[in-house]
């Protein structure tokens, strides 16, 4: 099977993003972050995002079932998993891992920018084996991607859900973390952190002008057999797509 994870940047790059998705329709599972549904009016400060991005992607992936989840309605882009209709989906759920659903607290900068954060999970069966795919967009605080108390607490919540999921497990997405943080160590312990293992040097595209080169990860449980992993160089967002082939 093949999986791609990508922070879509709200679809700002537009047509190249959709060409990329259409050209990779042989992928079995897409995990996207910063995806808006039609019901959301994005904040003007976010720029030229596509407010109907979830449905626009669904239209170019007719052989997939799309699932959308948000922790902060009417404010930030959510998570989206598109999985081929030929797969038997057993369960779909999401859990808030930072703050709470529709958090309105803004007592400090960290709270204001982070709002709520959730973890999306799709459990499916394929060739007699159960898999759980967990799609994650970690909190952003405007102070870099280093450890904070709340990021560590967030990782502890995420790994608890990961460990409790059924079958062989894949955690992927934009974690907003450096690879040398305790927050990443918590998620990696006992699992395979493929960005570390494959000695990836950057997951950011040429659209991203800041010096920090890491944000995105794929972490798999030991019972996932990795056949291939790489960072694709398609310039379709300020992040680069990550490709995993597995069974």
| 103-112 pLDDT tens trace | 555 544 444 4
Structural domain containing residue 124:
2-246
Task: State how many domains the chain has.
Answer: 1
Q: How far is Cα of residue 133 from the mean position of the Cα atoms in its chain? A: 10
Interatomic CA distance for residues 70 and 94, integer angstroms? 9
Nearest one of 151, 93, 88, 152 to 120, comparing CA atoms: 93
Structure-token match 């972490």, residue found: 219
Q: Which residues pair with 137 in a beta bridge?
A: 174
Share of the chain above pLDDT 70, in %: 86
Burial class (CB in 10 A: 0-12, 13-18, 19+), 189: exposed
Residue 81's domain is classified under what CATH number? 3.60.10.10
Share of the chain above pLDDT 90, in %: 77
Torsion angle in degrees (nearest 10) through CA of 10, 217, 228, 93: -70
- The lowest-confidence range among 114-118, 127-131, 188-192 is 114-118
Nearest one of 44, 41, 62 to 52, comparing CA atoms: 41
Hey, what are 132's tokens? 């759980």
């Amino acid at each position: 099977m093949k999986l791609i994870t990508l922070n879509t940047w709200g679809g700002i790059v537009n047509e190249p993003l959709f060409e990329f998705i259409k050209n990779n329709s042989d992928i079995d599972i897409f995990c996207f972050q910063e995806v808006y549904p039609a019901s959301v009016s994005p904040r003007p400060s976010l720029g030229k995002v596509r407010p109907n991005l979830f449905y626009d992607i669904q239209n170019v992936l007719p052989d997939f079932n799309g699932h959308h989840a948000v922790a902060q309605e009417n404010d930030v882009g959510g998570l989206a998993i598109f999985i081929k209709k030929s797969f038997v989906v057993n369960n779909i759920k999401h859990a808030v891992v930072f703050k709470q659903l529709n958090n309105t607290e803004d007592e400090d900068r960290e709270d204001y920018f982070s709002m709520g954060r959730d973890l999306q999970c799709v459990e499916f069966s394929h060739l007699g084996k159960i898999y759980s795919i967990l799609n994650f967009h970690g909190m952003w605080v405007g102070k870099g991607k280093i450890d904070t108390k709340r990021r560590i607490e967030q990782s502890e919540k995420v790994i608890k859900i990961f460990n409790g999921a059924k079958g062989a497990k894949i955690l992927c997405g934009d974690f907003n973390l450096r690879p040398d943080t305790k927050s990443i160590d918590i998620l990696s312990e006992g699992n395979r952190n493929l960005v570390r293992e494959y000695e990836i040097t950057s997951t950011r595209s040429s659209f991203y002008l800041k010096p920090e080169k890491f944000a995105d990860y794929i972490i798999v449980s030991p019972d996932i057999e990795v056949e291939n992993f790489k960072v694709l160089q398609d310039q379709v967002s300020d992040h680069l797509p990550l490709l995993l082939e597995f069974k």
